[in-house]
Amino acid sequence: MPADHVPATHSATVVRLLERFQTRQATIGIIGMGYVGLPLALTAARAGFKVLGFDINGSYVDRLNRGESYIKHIPSDPVGEAVRARRLAATSDFGRLSEPDAILICVPTPLTKHREPDLSYVEKTARSIAACLRDGQLIVLESTTYPGTTDEVLKPILEAGGLRSGRDFFLAFSPEREDPGNPDFGTSTIPKVVGGDGPDALALADALYSQLVEKTVPVSSTATAEAVKLTENIFRAVNIALVNELKVVYAAMGIDVWEVIEAAKTKPFGFMPFYPGPGLGGHCIPIDPFYLTWKAREYDITTRFIELAGQVNTQMPYYVVERLAEAVDRSGRPFSGSRILLLGAAYKKNVDDMRESPSLKLIELIEARGAAVDYHDPHIPELPPTRRHGPLAGRRSVPLTPETVGAYDAVLIATDHDKVDYALVAAHARLVVDTRNTLGRAGLANDRTVKA
């Protein structure tokens, strides 16, 4: 920890809490037991802490207390082990928020339909904590948000009852860095950025996360920590937009963008490969850049570069559908009235996460042009309700057989799950429009394959 962030002396409250973290005697409360909260809870339980998970979803609570996972890429075994060892329990009773020594907030921070921050989940959670807040608790926000949220939104709600941050309780921000389905990096192996509201809060947050992860990265303030997460995701969004735009340009020139990227990445310096796709998905990349765009307006600054990247990425589903329609028409069948099989409904490979998936937009655009769409996804047997694509909820994944594949006018590869039999697809599809270069990478592309 930087020397200028270490207090010369700690209060008795801070010393006691530090000791509880360092000896792993503390109880950790985690609000939101989804794709971020559940891995964090398992990591804390494995480290020896007692964990109390809070969620408004009664089904999640019941399944966790039975030792079951409800997230595809998280097996039930570690959940069951933590529950049986009495290291993990779940509850929907937010009146128990006075029990934990530290409360970690892992709730959604989506956008409104006008692309403005929706902090309603954070605010509601803060009010629930405030109703039970006691002396000597550490509160950490992990949800991605704009710089200033911890200090300007969370802190006033928590202080409304008379307790003061830095004196009675301690407030920090530590952005989640989960990458669902990534076999190489998990919660404990990804460095944890921490920023505190004052030196005591920083020392406490650093002490807690030091027990959970291999490395912590303390920074000077909560706003700096908030900016770190936005910067990471904006970097990805901008570079994805760049290769998406290059894909469009190179396709017009008859150049394969994937071949270009593979050759370019052999340069040992000055280049980092990013890959094009059918659009952005997930809970971070399509959303987080607009949190900074919104906040920047408060300072009369226009984030033109970020907004341009957003425009490029949001146009990709339209480009893909245009390429699909052209390919079907060239095959001798009118696109209107055709039948399309979409492979992959999740926003990324090998997960069951539908948040902001471009596949949903692809289905709507294809059907708006008069074609019919079915989908196959080994991880998503049925499309769940979503805020923006409600009418699609309830559709079920169709089986992938030679007969079903051959019955469609075209197969559109939107998500390149490993569990899909691409050899079957290549052999039996009349036409494949591939947005991920899946068949090309597998050496299965043929004269019926179109890259989009």
User: Among the options 172, 202, 284, 425, which is catalytic?
Assistant: 284
Q: Are 209 and 336 part of one and the same domain?
A: no
Q: Are 174 and 304 part of one and the same domain?
A: no
Q: Per the domain annotation, does 171 fall within a domain?
A: yes
Q: Are 340 and 429 part of one and the same domain?
A: yes
**What ranges in 331-447 are assigned the alpha helix state H?**
358-368, 402-406, 422-428, 438-441
Q: Per the domain annotation, does 64 fall within a domain?
A: yes
Share of the chain residues as helix, strand and coil, in percent rounded to the nearest 5 = 40, 15, 45
Total domains in the chain come to 2
Q: Per the domain annotation, does 204 fall within a domain?
A: yes
Burial class for 276, CB neighbours closer than 10 Å (0-12, 13-18, 19+): buried
Q: Would you state the structure tokens that stand for residue 227, as one six-digit string?
A: 């900016």
Distance (Å, whole) CA 445 – CA 63: 43
In this predicted structure, what is the pLDDT of residue 10?
Answer: 80
The residue to which tokens 């991605």 are assigned: 144
Taking only the tens place, the pLDDT of each residue in 269-292 is 999 999 999 998 887 888 889 999
Q: Are 166 and 299 part of one and the same domain?
A: no
Q: Per the domain annotation, does 101 fall within a domain?
A: yes
In this predicted structure, what is the pLDDT of residue 260?
Answer: 98
Distance (Å, whole) CA 371 – CA 380: 22
Q: Per the domain annotation, does 62 fall within a domain?
A: yes
Q: Residue 193 sits in a domain of what CATH number?
A: 3.40.50.720
In this predicted structure, what is the pLDDT of residue 217?
Answer: 98
DSSP 217-239: EE-S-HHHHHHHHHHHHHHHHHH
In this predicted structure, what is the pLDDT of residue 7?
Answer: 53
Taking only the tens place, the pLDDT of each residue in 82-110 is 999 999 999 999 999 999 999 999 999 99
Identify the domain boundary among 179, 205, 220. 220
HSE of 215, CA atoms in CB hemisphere, 13 A: 5
Query: In the chain, which residues have pLDDT < 50?
Result: 1-6
Q: Are 299 and 209 part of one and the same domain?
A: no
> What's the pTM?
0.91
Strand partners, 140: 104, 172
Q: Per the domain annotation, does 338 fall within a domain?
A: yes
Q: Would you state the structure tokens that stand for residue 51, as one six-digit string?
A: 């964990």
In this predicted structure, what is the pLDDT of residue 119?
Answer: 97
Q: Are 142 and 39 part of one and the same domain?
A: yes
Q: Are 285 and 416 part of one and the same domain?
A: yes
Q: Per the domain annotation, does 237 fall within a domain?
A: no
Q: Per the domain annotation, does 245 fall within a domain?
A: no
Q: Are 63 and 146 part of one and the same domain?
A: yes
Q: Are 179 and 296 part of one and the same domain?
A: no
Catalytic residue status for 106: no
Q: Are 190 and 285 part of one and the same domain?
A: no
In this predicted structure, what is the pLDDT of residue 4?
Answer: 45
Q: Are 320 and 177 part of one and the same domain?
A: no
How many distinct helices (H) and strands (E) make up the chain?
Answer: 16, 13
Domain that holds residue 396: 278-451
Q: Are 36 and 184 part of one and the same domain?
A: yes
